[in-house]
Structures are given as structure tokens and as C-alpha cells.
Amino acid sequence: MSRKRRSSVGLQSWITEKNNFRFFIGDPYGSPFFCVCNNPMGGLRRILRLIILLQVMAEMPDNVKRGEKVMHMADALVSPAVAGTMYALSAVAAGVSVKKVREENDTKKIPVMGVMGAFVFATQMLNFTIPGTGSSGHLCGGMMVSALLGPFAGFLTMIGVLLVQCLLFADGGLLALGCNVWNMAFYGCFLGSLVFWKPIMKNGASKVKIIVASVLGCIITLQLGAFSVSLETLLSGVSELPFGVFVATMQPIHLAIGAVEGLITAAVLIFVNEARPELLWGVGTSDKSDGRLSFKATIAVLAIAAVVCGGGISLYASADPDGLEWSMERVAGTAELEADGGAYASAESIQETTSLLPDYAFAGSDSALGTSFSGIVGGLVVVGLTVGGCLLFKFFKKNE
């Protein structure tokens, strides 16, 4: 499956001619994200300035085009047998997560699940360039959500994100959805939180600890996810990608992607620690006083950030192929692999019916409005799915 991106070369040359944008790209530490982390109220003002900036996008020249981008594992890489196995494993993890979430019965997690689901959805649209490689990467988000929600609620939130991406936007194959849930959500949520985050935060959180836990957790879990893609492809035997070469290509590029994701994750979690420290999961006793913002204000900042990322900054995402597509192109010469069979045809038919915004755009259109609309609507659908799922299936019950 593919998604489309705006060309970073044409866009950069256009932006640098616009003084209105120089406050954003000229000083990265003056951007809305870093401003929110260091100064929550200043960050809100800068976010509002960025929203105003979106009105100028109508002036974009025609040579600023979006390029195609693969984001998640496609059906052509997996066999029905491997796909079914990964669906079963992911379903078991989801069932355990539902049971544990019901036992925890922490109703304050409901709005956090919704907002963080939308935030992860939006930030996954922001491909960042890996310098000197011709590749790009994006966040997985499992480590981030589990640091706030714990492994079980975090895993269910990530399933919501991946399900919306698969069905509404045809991002990642429906047959491969179980693989994508395992590769992108399981490792980050369970290993990231239980092996790295919680032990490091045992005696309280600090900026250094958050950075160490985030970077280590993201690098290791993304390495496991990348290796799983190669292993699932090998066991499927439906493509001609040589296992050894594919692994040797996938692992190094995802090492770099994991390091960047770790730093971004750390920045978000440092903001949460400063704004509302009790929102962090698994943190031991600490002398830290109440945060700078209320619970509602912190949730509001994250929600605004999700809207800005999905509706605005996503337009400037890197046009370079992401780690998986880049690896496939280097090994096989193309990322456009095909597989024949009834299971593949059925999965494709279902996605063609459900994908109202294929490739994060209006059908048959390359307009910037389609990308912005997809980023905002997709986030809202994730909120509705996660919050609605919690209420419909009674994951949480009010204490009597």
C-alpha cells in the first residue's frame, strides 16, 4: 500500500522564500513542538501561529507535488498462513490486554487513550529524512503511548490506530494487519514499557532517565520489529527477497530511525512530565510537585498538537521512501510487489470498499486539502474508535 507525500525539495525552496515560515524552519527550537516542551503556554501561542500559516498554502506552486510512500507492511510480503498466525498472536495479546485493562479499571485512561491515539496517528504521517541515505522514517508510537497508558491500554490504543489506517486509508495490507500490529505495537508497548521504561523509572522520572529509556526502548523494539518483517517475509515465501540481504539492509536503516524516534518520544514525555507528571505510567516515588498544567490542559495541548501535525505539518513530510520501502528497492529493485490468490483478492476488495480516503487523500486528487483533511479526520476517527470501544465493551467501570 502506498501513501503520498509532498516533495521536500520543491517545498523547501518555496518555503525559504516566504518570511512567514522562517520563524518555523529557521530555528528548530522555536518550533511549536519544542516550544510546547519548554514552555507550555508559549507553545500554544506558537501552535496558533502555525495554524494561521496554513492559510498561505493556497499560494503553493504546482511544482510542489506529493510523492508516493509506503508506510506499513503490505499483503504481497506475507502468505495467508503466516498472516493467520500473526492475527492469532496479536488477538491473544489483545485479549490479555482487555482483561488487564478491566482489572485496572482506571477511567482516567479513556481520554488519554483517545488523544494519544490521535497523536500517534498524526505523528506517523510525519516522515523525517535520514541524512545521507535517501530514506526516511516515521514514528511507530508504541513506546510513547505505553509510557503514558501502560502496556495493555497502550496496545489496545495502537490497534485502534493501525485498524483505522488499514481500513480508512488503505495503509498497510488487511491480510498483513496482524503482522503490523505485532511488529509496530506489541514490541513497543510490552517490551518498551516493561523492559526499559518501568525499570528505569523505578525511583522516579528525570529528563536524563526519560531520554535514556526512550532512546533505548525505541531502538531495540524497532530493531525487533524490522527483523520480524524480514522473518515473516522469509516464512511466507511469496516474494523473492533474499533473507540475509534483506535483514542486512533493514536493520541498519531502522537503527537510525529508532534513534530519531527515541529522541522525539523523549521530548513528548519530558513535556508530559513537566506538565502533569502523574500521567506517566510506571514511575516510582518522586519529590516532584504538581505539574505546570492541569490534566485537562495537558490533554488539550496534546490534542492541539495532533491537529497541527495531522492537518498541517504532515504536508511537509519527507518524500523519501521509508525504511521498509527503501530496503525493498535496494534489495529487489522495486517496492511494488504483487501476489496472486483468493485471499489477496478478497483483502484488496475489502480495502477498496472501506478506504474512503486512499493514500491519505481524496480519491483521484493530489490536493493538499486532502492530506490535511485525512490527518484531522483520521485522528477524530481514532478518538471515536478508542473511546467508543472502551465504553461499548465496558473496558472500564465506574467505581460504586
Q: What is the mean pLDDT of residues 121-129?
A: 95
Q: Which residue has the higher pLDDT, 345 or 26?
A: 345
pLDDT score of 35 more than 60 = no
> Taken in order 219, 191, 170, 386, is the CA torsion positive or negative?
negative
State residue 254's pLDDT score. Answer: 97
Burial of 327 (0-12, 13-18, 19+ CB in 10 A): buried
Is residue 398 very low, low, confident or very high in pLDDT (cuts 50, 70, 90)? low
Calculate helix-pair angle for 243-275, 295-311, nearest 10 degrees: 140
Instruction: Please say whether the beta carbons of 183 and 261 come within 8 A.
Output: no
For residue 247, the one-letter residue type is V
Q: What is the pLDDT at residue 94?
A: 97
The confidence band for 338, taking pLDDT boundaries of 50, 70 and 90, is confident
DSSP for 271-292, written as a single string: HHHHH-GGGSTT---------S
Residue 102: which residues within 8 A CB-CB, separation 6 or more? 394, 395, 396, 397
Q: Is the pLDDT of residue 20 over 70?
A: no
Q: How many CB atoms lie within 10 A of CB 214?
A: 27
Percent of the chain with pLDDT over 90: 72
Amino acid 337: pLDDT? 84
Predicted pLDDT of residue 339: 82
Q: Would you say residue 51 has pLDDT above 70?
A: no
Residue 5 forms beta bridges with which residues? 67
Lowest average pLDDT, out of 9-13, 281-285, 334-338, goes to: 9-13
**What's the average model confidence in pLDDT over 29-55?**
43
**In the predicted model, is pLDDT for residue 150 greater than 90?**
yes
pLDDT confidence band for 291 (50 / 70 / 90): confident
Average pLDDT over residues 148-161: 98
The torsion region of residue 163 among left (phi > 0), alpha (psi -120 to 50) and beta comes to: alpha
Asked if residue 13 has pLDDT above 50, the reply is: no
What was the pLDDT predicted at 289? Answer: 56
The mean pLDDT value for 41-67 works out to 40
The grid coordinates of residue 262 equal 527515541
In contact, 252 and 222? CB cutoff 8 Å: no
**pLDDT tens, residue by residue, 381-392:** 999 999 999 998
Percent with pLDDT over 70 in the chain: 80
Do the Cβ atoms of 73 and 324 come closer than 8 Å?
A: yes
Q: Who has greater pLDDT, 103 or 339?
A: 103
Average pLDDT of the residues of the chain: 84
Segment 77-89, tens digit of pLDDT: 999 999 999 999 9
Predicted pLDDT at 39: 55
Question: pLDDT, tens digit, for every residue of 196-237?
Answer: 999 999 999 999 999 999 999 999 999 999 999 999 999 999
pLDDT for position 65: 36
Q: Which is nearest to 355 in space by CA: 377, 386, 329, 322?
A: 377
Which residue would you say has higher pLDDT here, 17 or 239? 239
Place of cell 542486512: 248
For residue 99, pLDDT over 60 is answered with yes
Domain boundaries, the chain: 71-392
* Cα–Cα–Cα angle for 297, 299, 301, rounded to 5 degrees: 70
What's the mean pLDDT in 324-336?
Answer: 91
Give the pTM.
0.84
With a cut of 50, say whether residue 274 has pLDDT above it: yes
CA distance 192 to 362: 36
pLDDT at 23 over 70: no
Q: At what angle do helices 142-169 and 207-236 cross, to 10 degrees?
A: 40
**Mean pLDDT of the 159-163 span:** 98
Residue 162's pLDDT band, with cuts at 50, 70 and 90, is very high
Q: What distance in Å separates the CA atoms of residue 172 and residue 138, rounded to the nearest whole number?
A: 14
pLDDT at 69 over 90: no
| CATH code assigned to 71-392 | 1.10.1760.20
Q: How far apart are CA 258 and CA 323, in angstroms?
A: 11
Tell which wins on pLDDT, 60 or 242. 242
Query: Which residues are bridge partners to 69 per DSSP?
Result: 3
